[in-house]
Amino acid sequence: MTSCCRSRDAWSGSTTPSSNLALSAVNVLQGQPQAAEQYEETRSALVAEVEAAELAADGLGSEHEVMEAVLGVRAFMDESSDPTVEAALAGDLEGAQEIQAGAAPAFFLANDAIAFATTSVIEEIDDVQGGINSLDRTENLMVAGLGGLGLVSAAIIVALTYQVLGAARRELAVSSRAQRTRVRLDAVIDSMPDGVALFDRDGLVVRVNDAAAEMWGMPAEEIVLLSPDRMTNPNVLRDQQGNEVGFEGLPSTIALRENRPVQDLYLTMEREGRRMDILATAAPLHDEDGTPEGAVAVWHDVTALRSVERLKDEFLSFAAHELRTPLTIVKGYASALSRKLDDESDKEMAAAINEESDRIALLINQLLDVSRVESGSISFEPRRVEVVDVIEQVVSRHRDVDSQRRIGVDAGPEAWCVTDEDALKQVLDNLISNARKYSGADSPIDIAVRELNGNLEVSVTDQGVGIPPDELSRIGEKLFRASTARTQEGSGLGLYIARHYLELQGGGLKVESELDAGSTFTVVLPRA
């Protein structure tokens, strides 16, 4: 308020206790430390004067006294054209004394002004909780300030009134913007075709959109009241292996418990004879300290997509089985011709037919494996397996067809793990085949076995073309082939199947590579 600054200058020569105290109070509000000492010196002198003014205020009834009170407020609120106020601001002692005389009555008018302004602000906020809370805080600040200062002058009350209204208006603006943002966000969530649910830190539902309510098959207001044991019933949830998923297996619960996002979790919901396939994603929500305070989950209905995939898998399975019979016949005739033909060129052609038949058979088997992996219908029989014996069996077959290449095995006597033996043979066969395919004919292949962190690791190392660094993260993706491997035949399915076989049994596949120096593929196998 510029008027307060000018009033301070105008009264710098006044010797009345009331005006000095008003001046020091304003200076204190403006952050001048020396004013506090002046305030203490003059306060005692003004106490008696204020008490007398209060007695006079009790008899406030004449228009003249009311006008003095108004002038006392206006002097600190706004410069005006009133001659008395102008005289006081210009340094006229008589004008200042007249305003001073109205200071005590101004206290009562200022109190009324505060009450009116507070009521108006509350009505204006219109139940915006953030604004009301802020107003409560500023009111408490104002009352505490008045209690400490006493009834000193209208200047202090007016200044506090401005603080109350200013803080309330600022908070109102912020809260109004927050409310508008919240309304827009709610509209976006409700319009989403995917089910969206918000959970508290205990994993209980606090908000769902219409799509989620439709998936659950009950109104949103009923969903938010569900206890943990009822959140998955009567909607029975199952994972890809057909196991029932309870509260602890929900994506939102996992995200909260492990404080990490949960991506692409396939679930099946069974409700009233209807089956729904869901692709679920969840992520924790954090407070300012990074502590999880809730979670958000998105449920995408992929029933139609999964239905198409099942039809595709059924077709692949049917086609593969139908192709196997004639392919077996072709391979048998090619082998017979190769034995009976005398001409070397004819033998080579028969051998080529036989080799291509093997390649087609491998592709058919890979397509069937992919179908089983993606449909979740694949099953394993894990048991204790002597890994060295399995490695020697696989290596022996490769030595028979590639006798010029050295394939070394380095393993200890306690090389065992718990896995499906046939699946392990298929994984190792694929890795050794790749090592042969992408390295020179006389380039060695080294196989090493070691125990690490409670697991057994089997590494297959070649000295071939290697893999570019920016492509390493894509190794194991379906149909992906490194740019350095495209000169050789391949489907891009072998490593995809190997990775899934290992991961579905609690293991994994790691790769290290250097261009033109070779690659190392490491199979991680659980010991228990």
pLDDT at 37: 59
Burial of 471 (0-12, 13-18, 19+ CB in 10 A): middle
Q: Indicate the pLDDT class of residue 492, thresholds 50, 70 and 90.
A: confident
Residue type, 265: L
DSSP 353-400: HHHHHHHHHHHHHHHHHHHHHHHT------EEEEHHHHHHHHHHHHHH
| Model confidence at 116: pLDDT above 60 | no
Q: Is the dihedral of CA 263, 264, 268, 274 positive or negative?
A: positive
pLDDT at 297: 93
Distance CA 402, CA 488 (A): 17
Distance CA 268, CA 279 (A): 9
pLDDT at 343: 84
| Model confidence at 36: pLDDT above 70 | no
The residue-averaged pLDDT of 5-23 equals 41
Q: What is the Rg, in whole angstroms, of the alpha carbon atoms belonging to the chain?
A: 42
pLDDT at 3: 40
Which has more confidence, 180 or 295? 295
| Model confidence at 221: pLDDT above 70 | yes
| Model confidence at 449: pLDDT above 80 | yes
For the chain, what's the residue count? 528
Provide the 10 A C-beta neighbour count for residue 209. 21
The residue-averaged pLDDT of 263-270 equals 89
Asked if 73 and 117 count as a contact pair (C-beta separation under 8 A), the reply is no
- What confidence tens digit (pLDDT) does each residue in 384-400 have? 999 999 999 999 999 99
CATH number for the domain formed by residue range(s) 193-301: 3.30.450.20
Asked if 466 and 514 count as a contact pair (C-beta separation under 8 A), the reply is yes
**Domain(s) of CATH 3.30.565.10: residues in the chain:** 383-526
Q: Indicate the pLDDT class of residue 525, thresholds 50, 70 and 90.
A: very high
Asked if 498 and 394 count as a contact pair (C-beta separation under 8 A), the reply is no
pLDDT at 364: 87
Distance CA 511, CA 40 (A): 79
- What confidence tens digit (pLDDT) does each residue in 330-373 have? 888 888 888 888 888 888 888 889 888 888 888 888 888 888 88
The CA distances from residue 65 to 35, 115, 418, 420, in Å, are 30, 22, 99, 101
- 209-213, 214-218, 435-439, 472-476: segment of lowest average pLDDT: 214-218
The CA distances from residue 165 to 115, 206, 277, in Å, are 11, 35, 56
pLDDT at 363: 86
Pick the CATH number of 307-375 from 3.40.30, 1.10.287, 1.10.10, 3.90.25: 1.10.287
| Sheet containing strand 445-452, strands side by side | 407-410, 445-452, 455-461, 518-526, 508-514
- 172-186, 346-360, 486-500: segment of lowest average pLDDT: 172-186
Asked if 388 and 408 count as a contact pair (C-beta separation under 8 A), the reply is no
| Model confidence at 138: pLDDT above 60 | no
DSSP 252-270: HHHHHHHTS-EEEEEEEEE
DSSP 125-187: HTS-HHHHHHHHHHHHHHHHHHHHH-S--HHHHHHHHHHHHHHHHHHHHHHHHHHHHHHHHHH
Distance CA 32, CA 53 (A): 28
pLDDT at 41: 60
Helix (H) or strand (E) holding 456: strand 455-461
**Domain(s) of CATH 3.30.450.20: residues in the chain:** 193-301
Contacts of 493 (CB under 8 A, 6+ apart): 363, 366, 367, 369, 370, 478, 479
Asked if 39 and 26 count as a contact pair (C-beta separation under 8 A), the reply is no
Which has more confidence, 144 or 209? 209
pLDDT at 171: 65
Return the closest-CA partner of residue 84 out of 111, 106, 108, 102: 102
Q: Is the dihedral of CA 252, 258, 260, 263 positive or negative?
A: negative
- What confidence tens digit (pLDDT) does each residue in 303-313 have? 988 888 888 87
Q: Indicate the pLDDT class of residue 2, thresholds 50, 70 and 90.
A: very low
**Percentage of the chain with pLDDT > 70?**
66
CATH class label, 383-526? alpha beta
pLDDT at 39: 54
Q: Is the dihedral of CA 37, 42, 44, 49 positive or negative?
A: negative
Return the closest-CA partner of residue 307 out of 281, 268, 264, 251: 268
Range of 95-99, 114-118, 320-324, 511-515 with top mean pLDDT: 511-515
**In whole numbers, what is the pLDDT of the chain averaged over residues?**
74
The residue-averaged pLDDT of 424-433 equals 95
Distance CA 152, CA 104 (A): 8
pLDDT at 23: 52
Helix (H) or strand (E) holding 232: none
pLDDT at 454: 86
Distance CA 98, CA 89 (A): 12
**Domain(s) of CATH 1.10.287: residues in the chain:** 307-375
| Model confidence at 85: pLDDT above 60 | no
Asked if 251 and 281 count as a contact pair (C-beta separation under 8 A), the reply is yes
Single pTM value for the model: 0.50
Provide the 10 A C-beta neighbour count for residue 263. 11
Following CA atoms 125, 131, 132, 137 in sequence, which dihedral angle do they give, to the nearest 10 degrees? -140
